[in-house]
Homo-oligomer: A and B are copies of this chain.
Amino acid sequence: MTDARAILLLHCPDKQGVITDVTGFLTRNHGNIVYLDQYVDVIEQHLFMRVEWELEGFAVPREQIKAEIDRQVGERYGMDTSVFFSDVKPRMAIFVSGMSHCLYDLLARYQAGELEVEIPCIVSNHEDLRYVAEQFGIPFHVWEIAPDKSNRAEVEEAQMELMRRERVSFIVLARYMQMIGDNMIAAYPHHIINIHHSFLPAFKGARPYHQAYERGVKIIGATSHYVTRDLDAGPIIEQDVVRISHKDTPDSLVRKGRDLEKIVLSRAVSKHIDRKILTYKNRTVVFG
């Protein structure tokens, strides 16, 4: 006996009957739907759907669910499907460098039970934040990157080995100040979440708060997105902004920006953990 739920994320070209057939499959197998959200992109003629139902009493065994959905419904419509279970927590690795604000925010939420996740490891290119990891009793791994970046491939290989060993499901870059290599990105497609300290695409590249100051904008922002090979151009998950004024200096922008970054990153991480995000053509569908 269990109160676990199954979660189905799917998308496919929009056709008559998709919703009827998906919900029909669940109803037929005695699945009590507790959440259904769907969205049709009328421009792309594409349908996105998230359904959550109780496993208790469901006629199809857990390990056959995805295969049965694909066979009975998915293949007909060319569906891309994923199935998750609420009692299987994803395993999240956090990458950091010198700034602690995003790391503390994630760990405090984790410890307070806000995030349904395991955190098997924290990775850094510096020793600076080891004390934070130790405060929370989480293993901390350091690989320094040589100034000439000559050891980058080697470090990446070691990091990926750690990810495999710890069965990491997704990676959060909590102000990690190093490039992520293509192999890592390929191994975790749309499973590496970055926080960019700017309202993308306004200020790409380095020192965006200084760019914002120079341009004299009245609002600054932060953007959380999935990492793709195209720097700062992956699918946006969440953004937020804060109003500033002529009284702000680059320093005060950095300070206000930190509060934004924490909130925006943690919202994106929560949505990912709750399996509420679908990506399509470099955009995200984020269910409520």
Contacts and interface: CB of A to CB of B under 8 A. Distances in A.
B241 A217 contact: no
B101 A288 contact: no
A215 interface: yes
A60 to B, nearest CB: 15
Nearest to A103: B108
B201 A219 contact: no
A86 interface: no
Given A24-B24, A100-B108, A202-B199, A246 B40 contact: no
Interface string A13-44: 00011011001100100101111101111110
Given A40-B34, A249-B42, A236 B263 contact: no
A284 interface: yes
Interface in A100-155: 100-101, 104-105, 108-109, 111-112, 114, 135-136
A97 interface: no
Nearest to A247: B288
A247 B39 contact: yes
Contacts of A235: 216
Contacts of A284: 216, 246
A158 B205 CA distance: 45
Given A108-B104, A246-B284, A288-B245, A16 B27 contact: yes
Nearest to A201: B202
A115 to B, nearest CB: 11
A221 interface: yes
A283 B203 contact: no
A43 B202 contact: no
A23 B24 CA distance: 10
Contacts of A237: 218
A255 interface: yes
A239 B220 CA distance: 10
Contacts of A36: 19, 38, 40
A238 interface: yes
B33 A16 contact: yes
A243 interface: yes
A54 to B, nearest CB: 11
17 contacts: A16-B32, A19-B23, A33-B40, A35-B40, A39-B247, A41-B246, A43-B250, A100-B111, A104-B108, A104-B112, A135-B136, A200-B215, A200-B217, A201-B203, A217-B239, A218-B238, A246-B285
